Chain A
């Protein structure tokens, strides 16, 4: 007599998809945008923008109890022509791209000492990326960084987060008329770090932005990429990749505000989850305002749940106030690497761990190629392999 339960424990999975109730992007927030943290009530967790986030793990960023007692090491590689300045809150470029929409973003804005402004001059085409390396050395820090890209300039910016600590810091990306920017933010934190950040992009006429958000690490990471179009012809692509392990909370909340005519946006976020209480949240809000005729937008979120005990909340929300558009769509799917797939691959001699790797690599392959930053591609593939090595 023999037992043929060959499939390793944890190979069956349960993902879940929550679909937003009808409501407008603006009224779902518990307070209007503001630079002042005092304008936001302390969240309780039932608010629409907080309902997925474990507040108790925010280390006081949400209730005013966090103080700037930490240290973060910052290094900037600025190619020739690129300037780096430390400025005060009164600098016109700070906060120009967008206003904090929730209490942690306002907290970051209210608490930073100096903002860093990194400028790429008009018409400059950078041969090398602007690299910003932020290494947390423990404790809580606040920050604010502005990337000011001049008209018709072309730049790749890679911001890397490593180390440990509690970090609340917003990023403004000002993309001048006709400029082309790739902005990459990598959250490769130690397992215990906490990170919240609102990324505000403001696009000039015919400007294009490619935003890439990659989240591997942290205990709690909550990133809020947003784009506003200042003039017609803007084009924004958002790519995201996350690999959520046991106990991690990784949340990505996108907002694309089509307020002017003839702009494009395209969102592709993909995540893999493994382990108990791995929790990924993806919110994709796209608003096409009445004036935004000729808009073309599409957003996609796909999740691959590799083990039992992981949870995905994926909430696409598309609001259309004009019918005069080129296209608008969204898709969200959470798939499981299930027993049948595992059985099929194993029945062809492929061991269980390799089978899982094969599927995950395949899942991310297209996205990694779309990111189009060569140095990043290799690192991502290596990182994904590492995540899989460490898999449960």
Chain B
């Protein structure tokens, strides 16, 4: 059973006045089959946690460890982390001009699976996954994220989640910018993957509304670069009522 263990993780970014510490000692364990929601106010460091685990070059790890199944994730290149079973659904995925979705998906699947998927089964697999996410077939021939609406970008991220079948999926504000219908569609996609029991999910969100569709086993409140409180689903209900005021200096969340 795959386990992601984050221990005392410290991360800083280069700021105008030198390095600024964003993560100040994060401890978290995510096991395959579990769903953890990380909730917190803007600027608390939630996204930094996501991108640091994925290996974005902007973030410098200054302390702590991230271990996936006994392997040191922080020693791996970005692509190695993905092949080891980590997946990050991004809040703002970038455009890749000239590369079609279809080409991109097949290249990724080949890299992750270690061999090119058989063409016939692959085409069927992609088609079904796209239908389930209510994506038009013409989508496959568009360039990656080029001219995509906010909702299309999110569906495309979840499409990859379904096809790449990671051990640990980090969903960074997947709910942001989605209307109710799109949120339901995308959540259903995430739930299909979760139901396999093969993925540990780290759901990063500011709002509780996605938790109506994706039920977490654990809820963590993130504030000022660390986990301030952990609990069960009831903690989300409490946040829904009280907001983040209790966790933020000065009592405001923005």
18 CB-based A-B contacts, threshold 8 Å: A3-B60, A4-B52, A4-B59, A4-B60, A7-B57, A344-B94, A346-B77, A347-B78, A347-B90, A348-B82, A348-B107, A348-B164, A349-B112, A354-B107, A358-B103, A359-B96, A359-B99, A361-B98
Interface pair A349/B96, CB less than 8 Å apart: no
Interface of chain B, main secondary structure = mixed
Interface locus among A222-230, A288-296, A334-342: A334-342
Chain A contact patch, size range:
20 to 34
Query: CA–CA, A363 to B100, complex, Å?
Result: 11
B98 contact from A345, A346, A352, A363, Cβ within 8 A: A363
Query: CA–CA, A2 to B67, complex, Å?
Result: 12
CB interface residues, B 19-49, toward A, < 8 Å: none
Query: CA–CA, A6 to B94, complex, Å?
Result: 18
Query: CA–CA, A264 to B107, complex, Å?
Result: 40
| Beta-carbon nearest neighbor of B145 in chain A | A344
Q: Which 9 A-B residue pairings sit nearest by Cβ, starting from the closest? A: A362-B98, A2-B74, A349-B111, A349-B82, A348-B108, A346-B78, A349-B112, A346-B79, A362-B99
B75 contact from A2, A344, A347, A351, Cβ within 8 A: A2
Residues on the B chain within 8 Å of A5, using CB: 57, 60
| Beta-carbon nearest neighbor of A338 in chain B | B94
Query: CA–CA, A101 to B126, complex, Å?
Result: 56
| Beta-carbon nearest neighbor of B114 in chain A | A349
CB interface residues, B 75-107, toward A, < 8 Å: 75, 77-79, 81-83, 87-88, 90, 93-100, 103-104, 107
Inter-chain pairs besides A358-B99, A364-B98, 11 sampled, C-beta below 8 Å = A3-B61, A347-B78, A347-B90, A348-B107, A348-B108, A349-B108, A349-B112, A351-B79, A352-B77, A361-B98, A362-B96
Residues on the B chain within 8 Å of A344, using CB: 90, 93-94, 96
Query: CA–CA, A247 to B87, complex, Å?
Result: 39
A269 CB to closest chain B CB, in angstroms?
Answer: 16
Residues on the B chain within 8 Å of A3, using CB: 60-61
Interface pair A350/B79, CB less than 8 Å apart: yes
Given A5-B57, A344-B90, residue A349 in contact with residue B79 (CB < 8 A) = yes
Q: Tell me whether B160 is interfacial, beta carbon within 8 Å.
A: yes
Q: Tell me whether A374 is interfacial, beta carbon within 8 Å.
A: no
Q: Tell me whether A343 is interfacial, beta carbon within 8 Å.
A: yes
Interface pair A362/B57, CB less than 8 Å apart: no
Residues on the A chain within 8 Å of B54, using CB: 343, 347
Interface pair B93/A348, CB less than 8 Å apart: no
Query: CA–CA, A350 to B96, complex, Å?
Result: 13
B85 CB to closest chain A CB, in angstroms?
Answer: 10
B7 CB to closest chain A CB, in angstroms?
Answer: 12
B55 contact from A6, A340, A361, A364, Cβ within 8 A: A6
| Beta-carbon nearest neighbor of B54 in chain A | A347
Q: Tell me whether A390 is interfacial, beta carbon within 8 Å.
A: no
Most B CB contacts (10 A, CB to CB) among A4, A5, A363 go to: A4
Residues on the A chain within 8 Å of B60, using CB: 3-5
Residues on the A chain within 8 Å of B191, using CB: none
A335 contact from B88, B97, B99, B143, Cβ within 8 A: B97
